[in-house]
Amino acid sequence: MEIGIAVGDVRGAVDAQGLLDQAKQADAAGIGTVWAAQGVGWDSLVALAAVGLHFPGLRLGAGVVPVPQRHPLVLAGQALSVQAVTGNRLTLGVGAGISALTKRMFGHTHDRPARRMREYLEVLLPLLRGESVDHRGETVTASGRVGVPGAEPPDVLLAALGPVMLRVAGELTSGTVTWMTGVRTLTEHIVPTITTVNPRARVVAGLLTCVTDDETGVRARVAEQFALAGQVPEYRAMLDREGAAHPGDVVVVGDESTVVRHLDRIRDAGVTDFFAVPYGSAGEQLRTLALLAG
């Protein structure tokens, strides 16, 4: 199982130097991959381009870019631009976005997300290969091509939690990215569903991770800080599958031996890539990084 580290504002508000400092810590520790999530702060692809230019040994993962607000021609140009400036080290994770945010923030329709993602990918993937598209479909219209010299098509993953979206991920992409999804759900639902379609699918699992002597306190802080995420229908469904009351129940937390056992269970579930989001005080985050590097 490949272990990567999140950088950027998924770990809290951070300026440009802070972003690079996080990447520098990962690079110095021997962590091979950094991941950037798309929230309401840093643009994940811009952040990864900046990191990639400063740290040529790091692999880069976007986990994930919601697509409703990015036309496939636009996203293809952005992703290929990152490839060109970083020497083709990007894994591009995409997703349908959280329904409530997509509607409220951007005014976009969010019905039939799996159908929309299938059609979006049927346009995006040829564009990433440098092919021309002329598509006038049910949910996407696109005509043109994107050419960035030196850029190769990135590996594409699809954020998927439900069975229909997991089948789309298995059929059209290299795998899936999950967030706030516990070991039981990974073992019994995510991995078997996607590998039935694509036995070689990558499964990237993102979770808050904290090496600490105060496991109870950390779980309580996560439960409070991420309470709203625990009410979002998409994540609530995964927490219910897990038998978890709130996001604090699925965080990877404890002392070194406890966290190692948790990581072993994630690996044994069939996860190929673990996307750790260091959580806690500065000291706890450094302690977490040291364990993950080891």
User: So what's the pLDDT on residue 282?
Assistant: 92
Q: pLDDT tens across 61-79, in order?
A: 999 999 998 999 999 999 9
Average pLDDT over residues 120-129: 98
For the whole model, what pTM was predicted? 0.94
Q: pLDDT tens across 231-244, in order?
A: 888 788 889 999 99
Q: pLDDT tens across 46-60, in order?
A: 999 999 999 999 999
Structure tokens, 98: 């959280």
Which domains, and CATH codes, for the chain? 1-159 (3.20.20.30), 176-294 (3.20.20.30)
Nearest to 85 by CA among 61, 59, 50, 57: 50
User: So what's the pLDDT on residue 108?
Assistant: 61
pLDDT band for 143, please (50, 70, 90 cuts).
very high
Helix (H, G, I), strand (E, B), or coil: what is residue 78?
helix
What is the C-alpha separation between 175 and 287, in angstroms, rounded? 30
Is-contact 92 157, C-beta < 8 A? yes
pLDDT band for 42, please (50, 70, 90 cuts).
very high
Average pLDDT over residues 179-208: 97
